[in-house]
Structure 1
Amino acid sequence: MKKTVWIVVANRGVARLFQASQPTGPLEEMDAFIHPEARLRDQDLVTDRPGRGFERSGPGSHAEEPDSSVAEVEAGHFALELSRFLLKGRQEGRFDALVLIAAPGFLGSLRDRLNGSMKDRILLEVAKNLVHLDAHAVRSYLPERLYSAVEA
């Protein structure tokens, strides 16, 4: 039975989607996604200064540090956008298995936003930022035979 594997190659601002239709064949690039907000610095995204906090043990105040940077939040939005696209593709039966290749910090963010049925379709994860590579170079980071572990 012919199987289709989608390979997502991403970082916090760019994602490229490849497809493998043969177990040992080349990859075909299908789509690209850009999220420019994730590449901006916090001060480019936020116009106001951090809030002020007051010391408990005497007079004085200090700037409050946010729990996460605006760039991290934007990367999370991008990961959510990608996860929704992947879920739609799976619901439409466009692929059987999924390979995630992403910059280490973004890989966890993307994985966290996939639902359980999508996580079950993950064939392989590679924690590397390879968005700048062409299809042939990306293929070299994958096992020679992609389909051996794919379940229909």
Structure 2
Amino acid sequence: MFQARQATGPLEELEAFIHPEARLRDRDLVSDRPGRGFERSGPGSHAEEPDSTVAEVETGNFALELSRFLLKGRNEGRFDALILIAAPAFLGSLRDRLDDQIRDRILLEVAKNLVHLDAFGVRGYLPERLYSSVDTRG
């Protein structure tokens, strides 16, 4: 999480969120094979496929954790506006979990995985002017 104190200024890192489970493949997260199901109409069995993969569940958990952090920060008056930058799939998962109070404060979304970049590198993907000095949202 980064902050810009000036509309055209640099970013400074405020917080680092690490959730390695959301990046692992299912086979790295679980040790058991899928359960077995049996056909009613004849002999044989097949592997039961889960509705969601373990990685999807972990991604959802991480998105929920971030959405709660953002809501708490908003309620504490820590920010007025947000720019969300995340890998496309995670951005969608996060967006699905955001409260209306947070959604109303999003100025821009960037669907890119920039986790490997520092503040200076991330700033290069953003507009020169991040926000207006006059808040027109009311």
TM-score (norm 1): 0.82
Q: Which of 1 and 2 has higher RCO (CA within 8 Å, sep 6+)?
A: 1
Aligned to 1:112: 96
Structure 1 outlier segments of 4+, above 6 Å: none
TM-score using structure 2 length: 0.90
Picking from 118, 124, 138, the partner of 1:140 is 124
Residues in 2 aligned to 1:57 and 1:126: alpha-carbon distance in whole angstroms: 50
Provide structure 1 residue ranges, at least 5 long, that are not aligned to the other structure.
1-16
Please, which runs of 5 or more residues in structure 2 have no aligned partner?
none
From 61, 65, 71, the equivalent of 2:45 is: 61
Superposed counterparts of 1:17-32, under 5 Å: 17-32=1-16
Instruction: Pick the aligned partner of 1:123 from 107, 120, 124.
Output: 107
Q: Which amino acid aligns with 1:53?
A: G
**Matched residue, 1:6:** none
Quick one: distance in 1 between partners of 2:57 and 2:32?
17
Cα RMSD of the aligned pairs, angstroms, is 1.6
Aligned length: 136
**Which of 49, 59, 80 matches 1:96?**
80
- % identity of equivalent residues: 82
TM-fit CA distance, 1:47: 2.9
Aligned counterpart, 1:42: 26
Higher strand fraction (1 or 2): 1
Tell me how far apart the structure 2 counterparts of residues 48 and 142 of structure 1 sit (CA, whole Å).
43
TM superposition shift of 1:72: 1.0
